[in-house]
Every structure is written in C-alpha cells, then in structure tokens.
Amino acid sequence: MSTPAIDFNYERFSFDLEDEELARWLHAGPKRGEPAPDFNLPDIDGRMVRLSDLRGRPVVIEFGAYTCPIFSDRVPAMEKLASEHPEVTFLVIYTREAHPGEVTGPHRSQADKNAAARRMAKEENLSRRVLVDDFDGSVLRAYGGAWNPMYVVGHDGTLVVRRAWNNPKDVEAALTAMRVRETPGIADSIDIVREPGRAPIGLRLLQRGGRQALLDFFNSAPQPMQHRLLTSPSAEVRLALGAE
C-alpha cells in the first residue's frame, strides 16, 4: 500500500507508514560493498565522533530511540556483544521517536532530542556510545531511513551487513567472521526478530510513549497483533486498551 512521504518527526505512528519506509530503506539506502556514509555527530556529552576517523576497525551502528520497543528488546544482547568484542566500535545513533504520545512526544527541538537520548542511555544503562542525529534526521536519511536499522562497517569503511531491523545474531555472526578476516555472507533483511525476556508486549509503548502511543499502534495493527495486545500478560496494557 503506497502512502505519502511522512514527516520525519511525525506526530502519530501508524502501520500504514511501514511499507513505504521499508521500501525506501531497501532500495534507496547504501548497499553492502559501498562506503558507509560519513557523519560527524555529537555524543550525549557533546563530544564529536566522525565515522571516517574510526577506519581500521569494525564499527557496528544501530539506530534507536526511547519509544522504540524493538530497540529496547535488543539492549541486553547488544550490550553483551559490545563487551565480548573490544576490537569493535559500537555506536547507537538516536533518531526520531518511533511511537510518540503524551508521555514522550515527537521532538520539537534539538535540545528536546538531546534530552531524550540522555534519558534512554541512562534508563537502559548503555555502555555503547550514544550519538544524537540532527533534528531532521540527516544521518538516518543518508542510511535509508527505517526505525531500528543496523549496519556493520568493515575495516576499510565499507558496509558489510545491513538490516532494516537489528538482529543481534546477525551482528554476532558478522563479527565472528570478521575476526578471521572473512566476509560476512548475511543478506539484507526487513524482517523483525523479537528478542525474548524484556517487557510484555505493549508495555514499553505505554510506559515511554503513553496511552496514545499504545492506541495508535493498536488501532493500525494487523489483527493478530491486536489479539496479542488484548491478551497481553500486562494488566496495564489490557486496561489501557479497555480489555478488562
């Protein structure tokens, strides 16, 4: 289903956004074997990081935000990988709010975005360095868009892995191959692989975005996802949806 191009810092999430956004990532973003688009971004303490300055060692780039439950699901696995691979630079780039609502709305200014990035880093207890994209998401746009994309950059600065949704198992496989100077044979993917053991489905949306974020997600979700939300193990989620 084709939809109009979305505002970068959109007010409301809808599943209707996904087809066009993921198609753009797949076809317009940089491809494996191409140079990773360079960037020079501040971290949450204001120190600048230029990607090209890191050439000579692998770099794992993951885009995420406070209201993105997919990013949150992957935190334990990604933090473990970062601790196991000191030869690799791990970067998180803070982007737009995936599920804005009354608790955390869309960014209204760069300062607002910076504050959200610091809040995420603190609450998730991230050891990985968190950089903050500009207000209009120039770096995310240069990498093709999407919500939680992940890239592995090789020693020479070219892309060797890209996924529209991060999968820590692909990151692990790629880094293992690169340790012995093999090229990872990991295909591009727009599939979501849910990491277990985090908050019940819908709870992150409610806690970090707010009830409006949860309702926006629920109202536009496919029927199987709606059923999962209505039967969520979280009483808070079921109550917010009027299921009990």
pLDDT 10s per residue in the chain (244 long)?
333 346 899 999 999 998 889 999 988 899 999 999 999 999 999 999 999 999 999 999 999 999 999 999 999 999 999 999 999 999 999 999 999 999 999 999 999 999 999 999 999 999 999 999 999 999 999 999 999 999 999 999 999 999 999 999 999 999 999 988 888 888 888 888 877 667 898 999 999 999 999 999 999 999 999 999 999 999 999 999 997 6
The predicted structure's pLDDT at residue 241: 96
Q: What is the pLDDT of residue 49?
A: 98
The whole-number pLDDT of residue 4 equals 37
| Three-state secondary structure string covering 164-231 | CECCHHHHHHHHHHHHCCCCCCCCCECCCCCCCCCCCCCHHHHHHHCHHHHHHHHHHCCHHHHHHHHC
Q: What's the pTM value of the predicted model, to 2 decimals? A: 0.94
Render the burial of 166-192: b for 16+ CB within 10 Å, e for the rest: bbbebbbbbbebbeeeeebebeeebee
Q: How far is CA 244 from the centre of its chain?
A: 32
pLDDT at 187: 84
Q: What pLDDT was estimated at residue 14? A: 95
At a CB cut-off of 8 Å and minimum separation 6, what does 126 contact?
75, 79, 92, 120
Q: Which domains does the chain have, with CATH numbers?
A: 15-179 (3.40.30.10), 203-240 (no CATH)
Q: What is the pLDDT of residue 6?
A: 61
Q: What is the DSSP letter of 30?
A: P
